[in-house]
Chain A
Amino acid sequence: MHDTSMLITGIGVISAAGRNVAETLSSFEQGTRNAGPVTIFSTVLKSPVFEVKHLPAEYYLEGWRTVSLALVAVDEALKDAHLADLSGFRVGVCMGTTVASQLNALQFYKTYRERGAAPMTSVDRFLKGNLAEYIGRRIGARGPQLSVVNACSSSTDAIGVALSWLKGGLCDIAIAGGADELNHVPYCGFSSLGIANPGLCAPFDRDRQGLNLGEGAGVMVIESRANARKRGAASPIFLSGYGTSGDAYHLTAPSPDGVGLRAAVHDALTEAGIGPREVGFVNAHGTGTHENDLVEGKALADIFGPDLIMLSTKGYTGHTLGAAGGIEAVFTAAGLRAGWVPACAGFLNKDDAIPIAPVRKKTPVTQRFALSTSLAFGGTNAAIVIGREMGV
C-alpha cells in the first residue's frame, strides 16, 4: 500500500507545563501542575489559570503575547527539524487561534466609547497579527497561509488542513499548530458560562467541576517523505489521518450521543488506514467540564473499548483554547517518541457514568498509533492520527 502519511520532523511547545518539549516531559514525569491566580490582567474572578511564566525575553513582543508564544514553539519545531533555511522550499503555515483573531482590546474600546476616538496601537497590532501571516512573514515561508478560528478545535483542524495541503501538493513543508494567550475577555466569558473551575480541573473525574484556562502554543513541522529524504531529514513520527465533523446540535454543548466526535474519529482512522485496535492511546480533549468529559468518554469507550490507554493533559496546561489541539498533538507525538504517557493530572475517582477511565500514572505505550481529539464550541469535532515507525 502506498504510504500517504507525512513525516513530523519537528515539534515545539510552550505552556505552563514547560517552555519546550524537554521541560514539559519533565513536568509530566514529576506531576507538576503550575496553576495559580491570574497575574497578567486584573480581575475579580478567582478561577485558577495555567499561565506561562518566564516567557523567554527574546520572544517578548509588547501586546502580542499570542504571537510571542507561537514564535517560541515555531523556533523549537524548526530547530528540531534541522530547518535553518527555508528558502528552497514551499512552506505553508496553518495556525489555529481564538484570541489573535479578535479585537479584544478593552482599553482601546473603553477610550473609543468615551471619546469617539482612540489611539490605533492595538488595532494596528491586530491588523498585523494574523497568526499564520505573521509567522509566515517572520520565517520567510513561501506557501499557503491560513489562520483557523474554529474555537477549541482550531489547531487540530490547522494540522489537518496542513495534511490536506501536503497531500494536495500545495506545499513541501507545513508549519502547523496553534497558539493562544490567556486573555481577559474569554476568561470572563468562560466564567459566565458557569464552567470555570473554582479549584483545579480534574478531567474525567467523578467530581469534576469545570475547566481552568491556560495559554501556550504547540507547533509541528510536517513534510512529505520525499521532501524529508531530499534534504536528508528523518523522523520516526508521522501524521497519517485527520477527521472533522460537526454535531449540528448546539452552540455550546456537545451532542449527547457524540455523533460528531464519532464521525471525526472514524474519518481520521480511515484516512490513516487503521482500525481502533491499532491505536495505542488517545490524548483526549478532556476539559474537566461535566458535559465534555461525559460525551467524549462514552464515545471513546464505544469506539476503542474500556481498556484503552487514555488521558487528558489539560491538568498540566489548562484549557489553552485555540492552542489546545496543537499543544496536545505535540504531546501525542512526544509520547509516541518517548514511549510513555503521563498520568492524567487531577483524575482521582472514576465516574460511573463514563465507561472508561484515564491513566493514573506514567504508562508505557508500545503500539504504533495514537489519536488526539478536540471538541469545540459550535459542535465541531476534530481528530488526528499520529504514528511512529517501529524499530527506528
Chain B
Amino acid sequence: MKISGIGMIFTEGLGIDSFEKALQNGWRKPGEVPVHPVTGGTLPVYLVNLNTASVKTLLKKVRRSDTLSKMCVVGASDALVNSGIENLTQKKIGIIISTAFGPHVTTFDFLDDILDHGDAAVSPTTFSNSVHNAAASYVAMSLNIKGPTLSITQFQFSFQAALQLAQIWLQQGRCDYVLVGAVDQYGEVLGYVSDHKLTTAKDGRIKPFTFNPTCQVPGEGAAFFLLSNGSEGSVYCAVNAVHIGGDPARGESVDINIIDADGMLPDESAYRSSLSADIPTAAYSPLFGSMMIGSAFNAAAGALMLKRQTRYATPVQDNPLGIRLLTEAGRGSIESIRCTGINCYADRSVIYLSRA
C-alpha cells in the first residue's frame, strides 16, 4: 500500500507544505486559551485557525457543520489535491475517519441545549452534528465520494486501526483508493480533563523524551492520507506493515524511529524498549500538540522524509536519558522508518514505512 497524497490542517496552517515548514523551523510556543471562568487562568493549546481565506472557500459547502467536520473536509480535500491524481471521482474511494474523541465539543453544545432549554427544545442541527460519523458524511458530500464510509474510534490506536483496515480493503478490492483520516478537536472540557488527569506543560513545551514524568500540551487538527496499491500521483512512500498489540518485526533495523510520545500518558517509559542506540529517534508532537491521533502527524512526517530523502530534526531535544536522537536536519538516504505508538495498557502499535 502506498501513500499517494497527504492533506492536513494543524496549528501552523493548511497542507503538507505548512507541515514541512514546521518540521524545518522547529518548535514554536503555542497560544494560550482561557479555561473555565470560575477557576480562571489559561492553558497552552495548539489550536487550528479555520478563518484563512483558502480554507473559507473550501468550507462554503459545509457551513452548517461543526469545527471537527470542517477540519476533516479541509484535510480530505487537501489530500486529494495533493495526490495530483486526475479523475479521482470516477474511482471507487473509501473513507475511514479515525478519532479518539469525535465531536465532543458539539456533544457538550447539545448538553447545553438540554440543560438550558429542556428535553423538548433542543436543536436538531446540533444533535445531527454531534453524531460521530457526521464528519465522514460531510467529507463524502463535499467531495462526492460514494464508496465505503466508516468512522472508527480506538483511542490511541484509532489511526493505526484505520490504516490496517484500509490495507485490507485495498487488498480485497473493496476500493481503488482509501482516504484515511485522523482528527481530534480541542475543547474546554477536554482541556480541563487533560489538565486534571495529566500534567500540562505550562511553558507549552512537550518533552517527548523525558518519559516519566510526562507533560502534555493539547493540540487539534486533521491529517488525511490517500492510499492505494498503485503508484499513481504524488507517491510519498509505501506502508509495508501495520501491527497493533505487538511488533513481530521489532528486531528489524530501520533508518529512523519516530515515537508518538506526547505526554498523553502519565508514564511513557514503555517507549524506551522500542528504541535502539543504533537508530536515531524523533518525536514531532511538539509541533502539533498532544493528541491520541498524533500518530497520523508523525506518520506524515515519516512519509515526507522518505519522499524528500531529508531528515527533520526532532523539535524538542531535552534528553535526560541520553537517547540517540535525530538532532540534525539534512539530506541523506532513508529507506525505512518505524512509527511506534503506545496505549494506556502499554500495548504497542507500529507502522512500517519504506521508500517507494
Per-residue contact bits, chain A 113-150, to B (CB 8 Å; 1 contact, 0 not): 11111001001000100101100010000111111111
Q: Give chain B residues whose Cβ lies under 8 Å from the Cβ of A379.
A: 137, 140-141, 149
Does residue B136 face the partner (Cβ distance < 8 Å to A)?
yes
Q: How far is the CA of A113 from the CA of B189 in the complex (A)?
A: 9
Q: Give chain B residues whose Cβ lies under 8 Å from the Cβ of A170.
A: 164, 168
Q: How far is the CA of A280 from the CA of B110 in the complex (A)?
A: 43
Partner-binding segment picked from B119-127, B283-291, B299-307? B119-127
Q: Give chain A residues whose Cβ lies under 8 Å from the Cβ of B111.
A: 104, 106, 109-110, 185
Across the interface, B128 reaches (CB within 8 A) one of A98, A130, A164, A251, namely A251
Per-residue contact bits, chain B 108-119, to A (CB 8 Å; 1 contact, 0 not): 101111110011
Does residue A373 face the partner (Cβ distance < 8 Å to B)?
no
A169 to nearest B CB, angstroms? 9
Across the interface, B38 reaches (CB within 8 A) one of A103, A116, A133, namely A116
Q: How far is the CA of A248 from the CA of B73 in the complex (A)?
A: 13
A379 to nearest B CB, angstroms? 6
Per-residue contact bits, chain A 366-378, to B (CB 8 Å; 1 contact, 0 not): 0000000000111
> Cβ of A101 and Cβ of B110 under 8 Å apart?
no
Given contact pairs A168-B168, A245-B146, A378-B137, A133 touches B154 in the complex (Cβ within 8 A)? yes
B194 to nearest A CB, angstroms? 10
Chain A, 179-227, CB within 8 A of any chain B CB: 184-194
Q: How far is the CA of A143 from the CA of B347 in the complex (A)?
A: 12
B293 to nearest A CB, angstroms? 14
Does residue B150 face the partner (Cβ distance < 8 Å to A)?
yes
Does residue B308 face the partner (Cβ distance < 8 Å to A)?
no
Q: How far is the CA of A380 from the CA of B244 in the complex (A)?
A: 27
> Cβ of A120 and Cβ of B196 under 8 Å apart?
yes
Chain A, 247-295, CB within 8 A of any chain B CB: 247-252, 259-260, 263, 267
Q: How far is the CA of A11 from the CA of B98 in the complex (A)?
A: 28
Given contact pairs A151-B133, A191-B119, A378-B134, A246 touches B146 in the complex (Cβ within 8 A)? yes
Per-residue contact bits, chain B 308-344, to A (CB 8 Å; 1 contact, 0 not): 0000000000000000000000000000000000001
Chain B interfacial residues counted at CB < 8 A:
67
> Cβ of A103 and Cβ of B104 under 8 Å apart?
yes
Across the interface, B154 reaches (CB within 8 A) one of A109, A127, A147, A189, namely A147
Name the residue of chain A whose CB is nearest to the CB of B41. A116
Name the residue of chain B whose CB is nearest to the CB of A245. B146
Q: Give chain B residues whose Cβ lies under 8 Å from the Cβ of A127.
A: 155, 344
Does residue B208 face the partner (Cβ distance < 8 Å to A)?
no
> Cβ of B124 and Cβ of A130 under 8 Å apart?
no
**Can you list 5 A-B pairs, Cβ within 8 angstroms, ordered by A?**
A113-B112, A127-B155, A250-B141, A259-B146, A378-B140
Could you tell me which B residues sit within 8 Å of A by CB distance? Answer: 35-39, 95, 101-102, 104, 107-108, 110-115, 118-120, 122-124, 127-134, 136-138, 140-141, 143-155, 161, 164-165, 167-169, 171-172, 174, 189, 192-193, 196-197, 244-245, 344-345
Could you tell me which A residues sit within 8 Å of B by CB distance? Answer: 43-45, 98, 101-104, 106, 109-110, 112-117, 120, 123, 127, 130, 132-133, 137, 142-151, 157, 161, 164-165, 167-168, 170, 184-194, 244-252, 259-260, 263, 267, 376-380
Which 3 A-B pairs give the minimum distances between C-beta atoms? Answer: A378-B137, A116-B36, A189-B127
